[in-house]
Chain A
Amino acid sequence: MILQAMRTALEALNAHRMRTTLTLLGILIGIAAVMMTVGLTQGASSSMSEQMGSLGTKLLYVTPGSTSSGGIRGMSATTSSLNDDDVALLSDKNIAPDIDSVAATYSGSYGALRSSTTTWYASISGVTANYLDVLGTELESGRMFTQGEIDASASVVVLDSSTAEQLFSDTSQAVGQTISIGGQSFTVIGVQKDSGTSGMTMSSSSSVLVPLSTARERFGTGGTSLSMIYMLATSTDTLSAAKQEAENAMSATHRTSVEEPDFSIASMSSIVDMYNTVMMMFSLLLGGIASISLLVGAIGVMNIMLVSVSERVREIGLRKALGATPGNIRIQFLIEAAMVGLAGGILGVLVGLGGSALIQWAISTFGGYDLPVIVSWDATAIALAVSMTIGIIAGVYPASRAAKLAPIDALRSE
């Protein structure tokens, strides 16, 4: 009976191929749009969390909240609310037991770097010796500077990979070379690994590292102020405890009110959360638009089913005379509607997959980075189920109209 109804439905749809195709389009466009939206947002989220890595989930960072712009210049080199005392405070295991290690940076100026052959511009950051460990950045070659070199304000520098590439044709030759930074000689002791070219992370333009003390004395205004403090919690689970400890300790020493602190502490995961929230809003918006398309598709299916029923009144009457129950007739039209929905869904999934691949290609070709577009089996299965359900729902009213036709009225109609 069901098989027979499916065959009848296929024949009916096949008899009006053009009409069926146009009806399919509504569902097709909706499903394809949903697939691409989901694929894009899932891809973006996963590439984000991948980049944050396991380390990112343990990382906290403190930024000066309200920096009083310094003096007449009012540009860079402002007085930061963060300084070495904060680092000492946060490193104290008695005060903050859940903080494993603390690194700090002092952003100096943006300056010219000269090798024997080239000149290149990069920002110069003074950092603590454990900076790379805390941020989870690895070295391509060479080594990080030691505490001794920091204490001595040594003239050593660790380059980022892009700066190294610019200054030396062969980056493996960089370590041991001498370059001039702002007219002063520095020895290159290490080169960082390329951290990935995705535009998603906060990293970015060229930035070379020198000992904290060196940066303050030679490229800054001296003193003990800091631009940023990074902390690693002892584990992912203690992240919020660590944040609380840091907040309490710093509020006390900074003598600031809780409402208006002069610093702020954020975690990488809070950035990821924020990013995910934005992605979610974005996908809801796109999904909403796609849903409207699906709704229009559903109305199309319903319309075509009503046409199909009124065209086949005589056939319905005959089938009833031959023994079809109202239930038999209802099933027949529901199957027909479900098939339209499912066919639209299948084509929609295919177009969605093709579209996703196209977007991925376009982003990597024109945008310059690889953003995976993830289309999961789950999403595909759900899309197919949804499209079939839409077909069935759109078919309910036409099918029950067909089921309710009185056999004599149906037979009499011409």
Chain B
Amino acid sequence: MELITLEGVHKVYSTSEEVQVHALRGINMHIDEGEYVAIMGPSGSGKSTLMHIIGCLDVVTAGKYEIDGVDTEGMSEKQLARIRNAKIGFVFQQFNLLSSMTALRNVELPLVYAGVPVSQRKERAQKALARVGLADRALHRPGQLSGGQQQRVAIARALVTDPALILADEPTGALDSVSTNDILALFDELTEEGKTVVVITHERDVAARAQRTVHLYDGMLQEVNA
């Protein structure tokens, strides 16, 4: 089953009337359910832009983007938010945890927006934390956790709604090698469990863990099979 479909996708940023940045120039890409794909490319090649499109955080300027069989064209902010909530789990380079909340409440957040009742929220968040090996850190705040632990909390948050796709942008960019290995091991396990994982990275050994790697140069794709 095809989960992600991009056909002739262009993204143009207009910073002003005269200056336009053509960040993506005709991307065709297909990712099946259960695949583990790495997207590589030099800085400025359009990796984050592509991730925003795939993650429904931004919309295409031209072309077609489908996720789980649903065409995103013309969708409202609200509809896009619902798709992000239900189908996508994000993992960011800077973790993006809310520092005033405990790990548990951070993990609960997507469930709040999904309208899950409080009692179930706690239970599911606790389970997701256990899944990443942090059951005993549920009541710690991000500031009391190491970088690797924080990223695992972020992964628990990405998993808690049981989304089809885990989308990670430079997930190991801010981590040491030990923590990096922990995270990559987690991604391997998730793939084994049938999750689709898309990792954006500029590190070769991170990309090497994926089943296939896609290279972006100047907004265009060059696929290389592992």
Contacts and interface: CB of A to CB of B under 8 A. Distances in A.
8 contacts: A1-B112, A1-B113, A11-B101, A318-B98, A320-B84, A322-B84, A323-B81, A325-B82
Interface in B72-131: 77-78, 81-82, 84-86, 90, 92, 96, 98, 100-101, 109-110, 112-115, 118
Contacts of A1: 112-113, 115
B77 A326 contact: yes
B83 to A, nearest CB: 9
Interface of B: 52, 55, 57-58, 77-78, 81-82, 84-86, 90, 92, 96, 98, 100-101, 109-110, 112-115, 118, 157, 161
Contacts of A325: 77-78, 81-82, 113
Given A315-B98, A411-B96, A321 B55 contact: yes
A323 to B, nearest CB: 2
A408 interface: yes
Nearest to A327: B78
B84 to A, nearest CB: 5
A15 B100 CA distance: 9
A406 interface: yes
Contacts of A15: 100
A324 B100 contact: no
Given A11-B100, A319-B113, A407-B58, 20 more contacts: A1-B112, A11-B101, A314-B96, A315-B98, A318-B96, A322-B90, A322-B109, A322-B157, A323-B84, A323-B85, A323-B86, A323-B110, A323-B161, A325-B81, A325-B82, A325-B113, A326-B78, A328-B113, A408-B57, A411-B92
A4 interface: yes
A323 B77 contact: no
Interface in A320-366: 320-328
Given A11-B100, A315-B98, A326-B77, A321 B57 contact: yes
Interface string A387-409: 00000000000000000001110
A315 B94 CA distance: 13
B50 to A, nearest CB: 12
B82 A323 contact: yes
Nearest to A15: B100
Contacts of A11: 100-101
A320 B98 CA distance: 13
A322 B78 contact: no
A11 B102 CA distance: 13
Q: Which 9 A/B pairs are nearest by Cβ-Cβ distance?
A: A323-B85, A323-B113, A325-B81, A325-B78, A322-B110, A407-B57, A318-B96, A4-B112, A408-B57
Contact of A324 (B58, B81, B98): B81
Contacts of B100: 11, 15
A321 B84 contact: yes
A22 B77 CA distance: 35
Contacts of A326: 77-78, 81
Contacts of B92: 411
Contacts of A406: 58
Nearest to B51: A408
Contacts of A323: 81-82, 84-86, 110, 113-114, 161
Contacts of A319: 109, 113
Nearest to B52: A408
Nearest to B87: A323
Contacts of A4: 112
A314 B95 CA distance: 12
A327 B80 CA distance: 13
A292 B206 CA distance: 62
B105 to A, nearest CB: 9
Nearest to B86: A323
B81 to A, nearest CB: 4
Contact of B57 (A3, A324, A327, A411): A411
Nearest to A3: B118
Contacts of B115: 1
A405 B101 CA distance: 23
A15 to B, nearest CB: 6
Contacts of A320: 57, 81, 84
A315 B86 CA distance: 20
Contacts of B101: 11
Contacts of A321: 55, 57, 84, 90, 96
A397 B34 CA distance: 44
Residue of A314, A318, A327 contacting most chain B CB atoms (<10 Å): A318
A322 B52 contact: no
Contacts of B96: 314, 318, 321, 411
Contacts of B118: 3
